[in-house]
Amino acid sequence: MDEITRKNISRRIASAAGHLKGVQRMVEDDTYCIDVIQQIQAVEAALDKVKVLILDNHLHTCVTTAIRGDDPVERERMLAEITSVFDMQNKS
C-alpha cells in the first residue's frame, strides 16, 4: 500500500472512530433514537468507504500481481479469496 493510500485510509478510520465515540456519547446522554441511528449510519458509511479503498488497493496490487503471474494455483487462490469476501458480506 502506498503512503498516500495509507494516510487516506487512516484518516477515514479516525473519522469513523470519532463518529463511533459520538454514538457512545449520544447513548449515554439518552439522545433521541433516530438521531443515534443516523450517527450509526454515518459510522457504517465511513467504514464502507474504508472497505472500498482497501479493496481497490488490493485489486490493483496483490490481485493484479497474481493474475499476471505464472502460478495458476496462486491466481485461483486470489480469486477465491475475493469471492469469499463478498460471500461473507452477503451473510451479514
Q: What is the pLDDT of residues 11-51, one digit of tens each?
A: 999 999 999 999 999 999 999 999 999 999 999 999 999 99
> If you average pLDDT over residues 62-88, what whole number do you get?
91
> If you average pLDDT over residues 72-87, what whole number do you get?
91
CATH number reported for the structural domain that contains residue 84 in this entry: 1.20.58.1000
- Residue 71's SS3 state is coil
Helix axes 33-58, 3-28, angle to 10 degrees: 160
Strand runs (DSSP E) across the chain, as ranges? Answer: none
> If you average pLDDT over residues 69-89, what whole number do you get?
90
The pLDDT score that the predictor gives to residue 88 is 79
Cα–Cα distance for residue pair 23/43, rounded to 1 Å: 9
> What are the CB-based long-range contacts (under 8 Å, 24+) for 69-78?
none
Overall number of domains in the chain: 1
34, amino acid identity: I
With left for phi above 0 and alpha for psi between -120 and 50, is residue 30 left, alpha or beta? left
Q: What percent of the chain has pLDDT over 70?
A: 99
